Amino acid sequence: MSQLAIHNPATGHLITTLGADDASTVAAKAARARAAQHAWAATPLAERKACITAFRAGVVHDLESLAFTMTRETGKPIKMSRNELNGLLGRIDFFLAEADATLATQTVFADGGMTEQIQHTPLGVVANISAWNYPWFVGCNVIVPALLTGNTVLYKPSEYATLTGLEITRLLHKAGVPEDVMICLVGGGAVGAALLEQKVDGVFFTGSYATGARIAQTVGSKFVKLQLELGGKDPTYVCDDANVQVAAESLADGAMYNTGQSCCSVERVYVHEKVYDQFVQAFVATVKSFKTGDPVAEDTYIGAITRAPQLDVLQAQVDDAKAKGATLHTGGHRGTGEGNWFEPTVFSDVNHSMEIMREESFGPVIGIQKVGSDAEAVKLMNDTRYGLTAGVFTPNEARAKAVLEQVNAGTVYWNCCDRVSPRLPWSGHGDSGVGLTLSTYGIQTFTRPKAWHLRKA
């Protein structure tokens, strides 16, 4: 049996070694998920909801140890691990509250003896291949609504968050979800690729553009539902009438929270020339106040970089920005001790010839660029192949909406950033992906509509 070594990114130390899946165990697991699907779909929704309610209770009960496990294997500061788990509870509550109405069969026509109805039937067996940065969120955005709608789930957590993936699976089984209905696969990209060789009815992927594009090529000719939630290079524009201090503090948090390893991290900041110097000063002061350190410590704000190869990406972006004339205000180096560390880094005087303004950083590194007008800000915000989120800071609602209506992004923010709501669809434009999770659309997406034409004899 092949093995998967799990390391603590904050120290580099081995946490444990797990037995991993291979092509034959993946095939056997897929067969089990297929065999179990009809019975699960036939289980009344009330029973499926009861399992998810019990799962929620299990998360609450084990919250502290689950947070610790996530922190140890990803390097996420412990308070942020707790925040993620508490945020998950709200997402589960939303799905539970909306499932009945969203999944109810709709009568769309009734006239004399003729009735037309739309029934929401499950896709069948769904594959969920997942990222590590918010493993509870991105895992459960798929798993919870997929199970509620009667699908069985083959779940391949990231190799950088496998202990968390196994905890999600354990708690679902403990809550009454049958073992063949929710199945975890252990391993890296090769196990994900083996999963895609199986007959599944939907592929729900969260991860990088590069892997998403590869998956789209593999899955394309199979005609199964495919959703890809990928990376971003999310911009925010600070107008000349904004409260500069508030904007600087919000955006520093939006850029550096989760050590900058959020799909919707603020990755580019454009500031009107009238408030540029003041903004840069306040932003840098806020970033300098963030404490870097042991992710388990309660006052740590900047944790470890989860994947060691990302350190090279960050260093290359920093070196490129420096070489092209950007001004470095703080940071700029990787850590020298054990584990994967990168200093929170702020550049001003950046431009779009620099990688730091073009490619996803996915770390605590940010560029701030001066602009002369709203029109210039819109042009620069749209100068990207991605389109996940974008924001504007100004007290003027009409001005914010005029800017945001022109920006190509699945989510837009006025005076906020780095925010996800279970009530709103989460989707990307361009290379940020296809499909969506969350909101009632994020329940329906695990179903296919069946059209009923019913004539009384």
Residue 265, classed as helix, strand or coil, is coil
Residue 266 sits in the site that holds ligand NAD (CB under 6 A)? no
User: Judged by CB, which is closer to ligand NAD: 150, or 435?
Assistant: 435
Q: Phi and psi (nearest 5°) for 233?
A: -140, 65
How far apart CA 347 and CA 113 sit, in angstroms, is: 70
Measuring CA to CA, which residue among 172, 139, 167 is closest to residue 66?
167
- Which of 229, 267, 343, 359 is the catalytic position? 229
Which one of the spans 68-76, 81-89, 155-163, 398-406 is the region binding ligand NAD (CB under 6 A)? 155-163
Confirm or reject binding of residue 263 to ligand NAD (CB under 6 A): yes
**CA dihedral defined by 350, 366, 157, 47, rounded to 10 degrees?**
-110
What does the alpha-carbon distance between residue 136 and residue 99 come to, in Å, rounded to a whole number? 20
User: Is residue 208 involved in binding ligand NAD (CB under 6 A)?
Assistant: yes
Task: Give the angle subtended at the CA of 96 by the CAs of 92 and 99, to the nearest 5°.
Answer: 130
Could you say which of 36, 125, 129, 172 contacts ligand NAD (CB under 6 A)?
129
Residue 235 to residues 175, 228, 264, 395, 450, Cα–Cα distance (Å): 41, 21, 10, 18, 40
User: HSE on the CB side for 290, CA within 13 Å?
Assistant: 28
| Among the listed residues 323, 363, 324, the one whose alpha carbon sits nearest the alpha carbon of residue 346 | 363
Site size for ligand NAD (CB under 6 A): 33
Tell me if 383 sits within 8 A of 371, measured CB to CB.
no
85 part of the interface to ligand NAD, by CB under 6 A = no
Indicate whether 229 belongs to the interface with ligand NAD (CB under 6 A): yes
For ligand NAD, the closer of residues 158 and 348 by Cβ is 158
What is the distance between the alpha carbons of residues 249 and 361, in angstroms, rounded to a whole number? 20
Among 207, 254, 303, 339, binds ligand NAD (CB under 6 A): 207
- Which of 3/327 has CB closer to ligand NAD? 3
Assign 251 to helix, strand or coil.
helix
From 111-119, 225-233, 277-285, 365-373, give the range in contact with ligand NAD by CB under 6 A. 225-233
**188 contributes a contact to ligand NAD by CB under 6 A:** yes
CB of 309 to ligand NAD, least distance (A): 9
3-state DSSP helix/strand/coil % of the chain, to nearest 5? 45, 25, 35
The residue number with the shortest CB distance to ligand NAD is: 192
**Of 6 and 45, CB closest to ligand NAD:** 6
* Shortest Å distance, C-beta 438 to ligand NAD: 9
Answer for which of 73, 159, 234, 418 binds ligand NAD (CB under 6 A) is 159
Q: Which of 75, 135, 231, 295 binds ligand NAD (CB under 6 A)?
A: 231
Smaller CB separation from ligand NAD, 360 or 374: 360
**Of 263, 264, 355, 417, which is the active-site residue?**
263
387 near ligand NAD, judged by CB under 6 A: no
Is residue 25 within 8 A of residue 9, CB to CB? The reply is: no
Provide the residue count of the chain.
457
Q: Does 193 bind ligand NAD (CB under 6 A)?
A: yes
Q: Is 130 in the site for ligand NAD (CB under 6 A)?
A: yes
Q: Pattern 323-362, binding to ligand NAD, x per CB under 6 A? A: -------------------------------------x-x
Only segment of 53-61, 133-141, 274-282, 318-326 that touches ligand NAD (CB under 6 A): 133-141
* Region 421-440 residues binding ligand NAD, contact defined as CB under 6 A: 426, 428, 433
* Minimum CB distance to ligand NAD, residue 383 (Å): 19
Whole-number Cα distances in Å, 209 to 12, 215, 309, 385, 389? 27, 10, 16, 11, 16
Q: Does 189 bind ligand NAD (CB under 6 A)?
A: yes
Told to judge if 405 belongs to the known catalytic residues of this protein, a careful annotator would answer no
Q: Which three-class secondary structure state does DSSP give residue 226?
A: strand
User: Beta strands 447-455 and 114-122: pairing type?
Assistant: antiparallel
Query: Please, how many CA atoms are within 13 Å of residue 198, restricted to the half-sphere of its CB?
Result: 31
Only segment of 15-23, 64-72, 229-237, 313-321 that touches ligand NAD (CB under 6 A): 229-237
Tokens of 215: 């998956």
Q: Does residue 131 bind ligand NAD (CB under 6 A)?
A: yes
Those residues whose C-beta lies under 8 Å from the C-beta of residue 265, and which sit 6 or more positions away, are 232, 234, 254, 255, 256, 257, 258, 361, 362, 418
Which of 49, 214, 274, 379: binder of ligand NAD (CB under 6 A)?
214
Based on the residue annotation, tell me whether 263 is a catalytic residue of this protein.
yes
**Best CA proximity match to 150, nearest among 185, 179, 177:** 177
132 binds ligand NAD (CB under 6 A): yes
- According to the binding rule CB under 6 A, does residue 225 interact with ligand NAD? no
What the block records as the tokens of 358 is 């073009």
Q: Which residues are catalytic?
A: 229, 263
Binding site for ligand NAD (CB under 6 A): 129-134, 138, 156, 158-159, 188-189, 192-193, 196, 206-208, 211, 214-215, 229-232, 263, 307, 360, 362, 388, 426, 428, 433
